[in-house]
Amino acid sequence: MQQSLARIALVVNDYDEAIEFYTKKLHFTLIEDTVMSPTKRWVVVAPPGSDGCCLLLAKAASDEQQSRVGNQTGGRVFLFLYTDNLDRDHANLLQHNITIIRQPVVETWGKVLVFADLYSNLWDLIEPAQGK
């Protein structure tokens, strides 16, 4: 048996503001933006160079979904983004005024910082140590 995780749905307020944030500030690639109905689109983004799981940007369609925007995990770190250069990406976050929740630290397994996206979802940005 072979399986893989393909998409993670991230509830957002607005498709276009989410696309703008992820593509212009985090430099993700817009993989797909397909209109499904007058109110629904299939919007997929992925980190540069990624060939694995992507984010499905899903616009909140009800009051309950709207209440979850930015808090899908009760305030815990939600997403884990690996990088080949944490210092470069940290500088990019600062340049785009993205909120750093926890400054970079070096652990035995690599470098890590925590940042908040435009909706306050928490992300770990991780540069694994060599050989990890």
Across 95-119, average pLDDT: 97
CATH architecture of 1-69: Roll (3.10)
Q: Indicate the domain borders of the chain.
A: 1-69, 73-132
Task: Tell me yes or no: is domain 73-132 CATH 3.10.180.10.
Answer: yes
How far are the Cα atoms of 9, 27, 34, 72, 98 from residue 119, in angstroms, in the given order? 14, 17, 23, 10, 11
The reply to whether domains 1-69 and 73-132 share a CATH topology is yes
pLDDT tens for 50-104 read 988 999 999 999 999 999 999 999 999 999 999 999 999 999 999 999 999 999 9
Per-residue pLDDT of 6-44, as tens digits, reads: 999 999 999 999 999 999 999 999 999 999 999 999 999
Q: Model's pTM, two decimal places?
A: 0.93
